[in-house]
């Protein structure tokens, strides 16, 4: 009875304090008129499940609920000022219509999680995205496996933006080592790997990818029901039950993060500019690829004007080849094959090659661009075998071939001119499967 009485008292106090905060008005513009109906505490007092009545149209009610969920970390902090507890409960908002559907707390969780998993990603405007970033207090920022300059630069730039908002609890994580080319970026030493489990956090952010399947072992640290924001520019659907921005009009994820800076009216510092420049320059092939736009060049000009040493940065990004990288390049170039009258060029590498050359996986990055430059080549392909039974295949193509559309049937995706997929087969089987599929493509039928 005493334990039950305590959960009721804590729930009542939390209900009163949240009601006061909502009455005063929350800063998130998405939150309309809401009423706190009930607060149910878990038996161990770790979770406060807040049930609210939402008013307005369906889209307005949905927007209000997302706004409340985004504000949960800040609300928890404010309510904590009046709770004399060693560990503050995590606050979770649910629509009141679940109350008459379930009787047990675990059933409530499962129902909500299942519903979230079925809903498409909620598309946010830049204004809404900035509001979501401003209201969070603890963030877990992640990106795709085999991270490139766009993933790393965008992640670190977003970290600096959150710090500008006053956020102090930020963890950046990658399933994969940071390549040496990016080792001098501001904040890069703060990035942890998948072996490091994050402390409790409010919001997970996926940068430069839209699916949990793209982040490797880091997905184990993002439980079902956790609030997820997505900032991406690839042609793929966002993880169901999340919210964020996916816009293929941006040349790089870094260009999208730059738009968040502009929306928030946050000025460039040499540190944030260096991170964004790295993201944009690497994902456009130093402004050579077809995804480069006039906006990309205008952004680059702003970043350079902010005070970055662009010569030194370009040297680090594009002209800093190690001896091992050179040996790997020489090795894979010796294997390049031309198919379909020279319109397709491919090469491959595996762990045995790396051991023989004394090289690392990151020494294989960007090599595909070399045989893409061969005259008449429309599609360049690079096969990599670093895990048993799995082949990573990368495509680079000119505007006449949609690499992302082609690889979609293999479970891959990306950009029209730069895409990838993971195939669960041997190297020989992967090579034969891809070439066979290309042979049936109208562009390469002889």
Domain boundary (300, 318, 336) is at 318
Cβ proximity of 141 and 169 under 8 Å: no
Q: Residue 414 sits in which domain range? A: 323-439
In a domain, 391, yes or no: yes
CA–CA distance, 50 with 71 (Å, rounded to integer):
13
Q: Please write down the long-range contacts of 429-437, taking CB distance under 8 Å and 24 or more positions apart.
A: 430/383, 430/391, 430/393, 431/346, 431/348, 431/383, 434/346, 434/381, 434/393, 434/410, 435/339, 435/344, 437/406, 437/409, 437/410
In a domain, 278, yes or no: yes
Domain boundary (318, 337, 358) is at 318
pLDDT score of 127: 94
**What are the average pLDDT values for consecutive 10-residue runs of the chain, which has 446 residues?**
71 89 76 86 87 81 85 86 82 71 46 60 93 92 93 98 96 92 94 93 96 93 92 91 94 97 96 98 90 95 95 91 93 96 96 94 90 94 94 93 92 85 94 94 78
Domain boundary (318, 342, 373) is at 318
Pairing of strands 138-143, 344-350: unpaired
Which CATH number covers residue 408?
A: 3.10.310.30
CA–CA distance, 137 with 71 (Å, rounded to integer):
9
* Tokens found for residue 306: 């902010």
Same domain, 189 and 87: no
Same domain, 146 and 257: yes
pLDDT score of 29: 76
Name the domain count of the chain: 3
Q: Which residue has the tokens 């996986």?
A: 361
Which CATH number covers residue 18?
A: 3.30.300.20
Single out the residue of 208, 229, 263 nearest to residue 70, CA to CA. 229
Same domain, 93 and 167: no
Same domain, 45 and 63: yes
Q: Which residue has the tokens 């030194």?
A: 312
Same domain, 162 and 296: yes
pLDDT score of 2: 52
Same domain, 254 and 345: no
Rg of the chain on CA atoms, in Å: 24
pLDDT score of 136: 86
Which CATH number covers residue 309?
A: 3.90.1640.10
Same domain, 329 and 307: no
What letter would DSSP give residue 5? H
How many residues does the structure list for the chain? Answer: 446
In a domain, 119, yes or no: no
pLDDT score of 23: 77
pLDDT score of 81: 84
In a domain, 229, yes or no: yes
Q: Which residues pair with 340 in a beta bridge?
A: none
Same domain, 187 and 256: yes
Q: What is the pTM of this model?
A: 0.69
In a domain, 368, yes or no: yes
Same domain, 96 and 137: no
Pairing of strands 344-350, 337-339: antiparallel
In a domain, 90, yes or no: yes
Element housing 400 (H / E): none
The residues near 232 (Cβ < 8 Å, ≥ 6 apart) are: 206, 207, 208, 209, 210, 238, 244, 245, 246, 253, 256
* Tokens found for residue 372: 């893409």
Write the CA distances from 377 to 16, 180, 334, 382, integer angstroms.
67, 30, 17, 14
In a domain, 433, yes or no: yes
Q: Which residues pair with 438 in a beta bridge?
A: none
Same domain, 203 and 262: yes
In a domain, 113, yes or no: no
Helices (H), 291-350: 294-305, 310-318, 323-333
Cβ proximity of 185 and 278 under 8 Å: yes
Same domain, 273 and 172: yes
What letter would DSSP give residue 344? E
Same domain, 101 and 247: no
């Amino acid at each position: 009875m005493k334990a039950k009485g305590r959960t009721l008292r804590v729930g009542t106090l939390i209900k009163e304090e949240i009601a006061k905060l909502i009455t005063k008005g929350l800063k998130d513009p998405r939150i309309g008129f809401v009423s706190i109906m009930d607060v149910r505490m878990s038996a161990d007092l770790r979770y406060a499940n807040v049930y609210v009545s939402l008013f307005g149209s369906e889209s307005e009610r949905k927007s209000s609920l997302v706004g409340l969920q985004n504000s949960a970390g800040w609300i928890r902090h404010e309510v904590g000022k009046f709770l004399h507890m060693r560990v503050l409960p995590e606050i979770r908002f649910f629509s009141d219509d679940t109350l008459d559907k379930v009787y047990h707390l675990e059933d409530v969780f499962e129902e909500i999680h299942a519903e979230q998993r079925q809903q498409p990603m909620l598309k946010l405007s830049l204004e809404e995205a900035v509001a979501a970033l401003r209201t969070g207090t603890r963030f877990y920022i992640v990106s795709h496996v085999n991270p490139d300059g766009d993933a790393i630069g965008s992640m670190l730039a977003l970290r600096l933006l959150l710090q500008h908002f006053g956020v102090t609890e930020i963890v950046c994580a990658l399933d994969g080592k940071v390549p040496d080319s990016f080792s001098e970026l501001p904040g890069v030493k703060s990035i942890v790997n998948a072996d490091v489990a994050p402390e409790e956090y409010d919001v997970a952010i996926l940068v430069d990818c839209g699916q949990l399947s793209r982040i490797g072992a880091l997905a184990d640290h993002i439980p079902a029901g956790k609030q997820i924001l997505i900032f991406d520019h690839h042609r793929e659907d966002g993880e169901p039950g999340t919210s964020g921005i996916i816009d293929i009009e941006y040349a790089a994820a870094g260009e999208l993060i730059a738009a968040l800076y502009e929306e928030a009216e946050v000025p460039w510092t040499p540190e944030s500019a260096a991170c964004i420049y790295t993201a944009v320059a690497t994902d456009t092939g130093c402004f050579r690829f077809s995804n480069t736009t006039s906006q990309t060049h205008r952004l680059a000009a702003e970043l350079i004007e902010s005070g970055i040493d662009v010569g030194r940065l370009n040297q680090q990004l594009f002209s800093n080849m190690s001896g091992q990288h050179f040996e790997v390049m020489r090795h894979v170039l010796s294997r390049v094959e031309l198919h379909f009258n020279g319109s397709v060029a491919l090469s491959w590498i595996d762990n045995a090659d790396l051991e023989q050359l004394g090289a690392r996986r990151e020494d294989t990055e960007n090599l595909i661009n070399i045989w893409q430059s061969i005259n008449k080549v429309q599609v360049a392909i690079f096969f990599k075998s670093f895990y048993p039974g799995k082949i990573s295949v990368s495509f680079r193509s000119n505007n006449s071939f949609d690499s992302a559309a082609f690889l979609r049937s293999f479970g891959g995706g990306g950009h029209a001119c730069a895409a990838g997929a993971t195939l669960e087969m041997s190297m020989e089987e992967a090579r034969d499967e891809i070439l066979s599929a290309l042979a049936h493509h109208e562009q390469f039928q002889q």
